Amino acid sequence: MKKMRFLRVSIFLAALCVLFSEAAFAREFVMGHTGQPLVTFAQAGEKFAEFLEKHSNGTMKVQVMGAGALGNNREGIEQIQQGVTDFWIISTGLLAPFTKAVTVFDIPYLFKSEKAGLDFVNSELAMEVVKPLEEKGIQPLGFFIMGWRHTHSNIAIRSPEDLKGVKIRTEPAPIRMAIFKAMGANPIPMDFGEVFTSLQQGVIDAGENTFENIKSQGFHTVQKYITTDGHILDPMLIVMSKKSWDALSADEKAVLLKAVDETCRWEQDNVLANNKKILDEFKAAGAPEIIELTAEQRKGFREATKSVLEDHKADIDMAMYERIMKFQEAYPEEAPNS
């Protein structure tokens, strides 16, 4: 009897040791972003936590802190560099202060179609574009997509000439501002949180964003028109602190990348479908009015912004630009439909 009791106690203690050993070695991470819960990339952050826990059998867990809970994007990336925060989700356009390599994505009308853009961001070449971030303590893991950026306004915009003198909010990235300068507009870099009030009060006349962001921020309630010019197919990155990445074993990195890949596919499928759904909702409602450009009109916008590439060659990896052009040679040109 004593031997049996001793055996049971030994088995129980061994089980406890295994349990506490697993708990001790479980990795817990923090992910930050500035997205509101309704936008797809914010939901993808939650999916990433779910996928990583599943693929790691519970040994790798992520606490997601969205809606700017950890600060703005600049602060978030600085936290990533310091190793204070482990993951961040951010538009490539906001990473230009950390490396000029990402500015190639800001070139207007870079991708011939949605499929060309998606196939590119899921390629090894796209990861090569963002590799220089590693030198800044930022480990790029994979691409999300925000979708096509369109122009929303209180002025009907059917040609570049219609933008002359228009005060339009843009992200504070030089090339993104240059796109609208080239068409005679007055681009105004402004914090995203100030845009709705500025539109409402007439401080600015227009802005440019994806359908999902236009709806989630209520811009459609204070704007009369949306022109589907699709000047940028806005890519985002899920990045990790290089310090956190380097602390992982090879097996942990493999599990992590599997979760990242699954998350990126989920996000891309869902965000494009949601943008299309919102576009259809606006069309059905008749407000704001959707201005869909003809092929000839789109050509006019491309021609009007050709100078942007020429004027910013010093800020763009032109060899990479040529490789992107070659990558999509076989793709037919298609108008954005979301």
Q: Is residue 335 part of a domain?
A: no
Position 140 scores a pLDDT of 98
For strands 87-91 and 60-65, give the pairing: unpaired
Instruction: Kindly report the CATH number assigned to the domain that includes residue 213.
Output: 3.40.190.170
Please tell me the total count of domains within the chain.
1
* 182 inside domain: yes
Domain presence at residue 155: yes
List the chain pLDDT tens, one digit each, 338 residues.
Answer: 444 444 343 434 444 444 444 444 689 999 999 998 989 999 999 999 999 999 999 999 999 999 999 999 999 999 999 999 999 999 998 898 899 999 999 999 999 999 999 999 999 999 999 999 999 999 999 999 999 999 999 999 999 999 999 999 998 889 999 999 999 999 999 988 899 999 999 999 999 999 999 999 999 999 999 999 999 999 999 999 999 999 999 999 999 999 999 999 999 999 999 999 999 999 999 999 999 999 999 999 999 999 999 999 999 999 999 999 999 999 999 999 89
Provide the domain limits for residue 307.
2-327
Residue 338 counted as domain residue: no
Could you tell me if residue 318 is inside a domain?
A: yes
Contact at 8 Å (CB) between 134 and 140?
yes
In a domain, 336, yes or no: no
User: Around 18, how many Cα atoms within 13 Å sit in the side-chain half-sphere?
Assistant: 6
Structure tokens at 286: 């008749």
Block residue for tokens 């409402």: 200
Separation of alpha carbons 232 and 271, rounded Å: 15
β-pairing, 60-65 with 186-189?
unpaired
Q: Which among 218, 223, 226, 212 has a CA at the least distance from the CA of 151? A: 226
| C-alpha–C-alpha distance, residues 128 and 247, integer Å | 22
Q: What are phi and psi of 111, to 5 degrees?
A: -100, 135
The CB-side HSE value for 252 (13 A sphere, CA atoms) comes to: 15
Q: Cα 28 to the chain's mean position, in Å?
A: 24
Tell me, yes or no, whether 332 lies in a domain: no
pTM of the model: 0.90
Residue of 233, 257, 236 whose CA lies nearest to 328: 233
